[in-house]
Amino acid sequence: MKFSRKTVLAMLVVALSFTACKSDDDGGTSASANGELTAKVDGQSYESMREATTAEESNAGGVSTIAITGGSADSENIQFIIIGFDGEGTYQLNNINLGTYTYLADPGDYMSAVLFSTVTDGSSNGEINISSYTPGENVQGTFNFTGYNNQDISDTRVVSEGSFNVDIRN
Residue 35 contacts residue 167 (beta carbons within 8 Å): yes
Q: Are 49 and 73 in contact (CB under 8 A)?
A: yes
Task: Check if the beta carbon of residue 84 is closer than 8 Å to that of residue 64.
Answer: yes
Please tell me the predicted confidence (pLDDT) of residue 134.
96
Work out the pLDDT band at 33, boundaries 50, 70, 90: low
DSSP track, 10-48: HHHHHHHHHHH-EE-TTS-EE----EEEEEEETTEEEE-
Cα 81 to Cα 95: distance, rounded to the nearest angstrom: 10
Q: Write down the pTM of the prediction.
A: 0.81
Kindly list the domain boundaries of the chain, sorted by start residue: 5-22+34-167
Residue range 55-60: mean pLDDT, rounded: 95
Residues 146-157 have a mean pLDDT of 94
What is the average pLDDT value for the chain, to the nearest integer? 84
- Tell me the CA distances in angstroms from 120 to 5, 30, 103, 162, one per residue in order: 9, 35, 19, 21
pLDDT above 60 for 9:
no
The predicted model gives 30-48 an average pLDDT of: 86
Task: State how far the alpha carbon of 14 is from the alpha carbons of 56, 61, 81, 136, 167, in Å.
Answer: 12, 16, 11, 20, 20
Specify the pLDDT at position 30: 41
* pLDDT in the model for residue 118: 95
Tell me: pLDDT of 15 over 50: no
**Stretch among 11-20, 37-46, 84-93, 94-103 having the lowest mean pLDDT:** 11-20
Give 169's DSSP letter: P
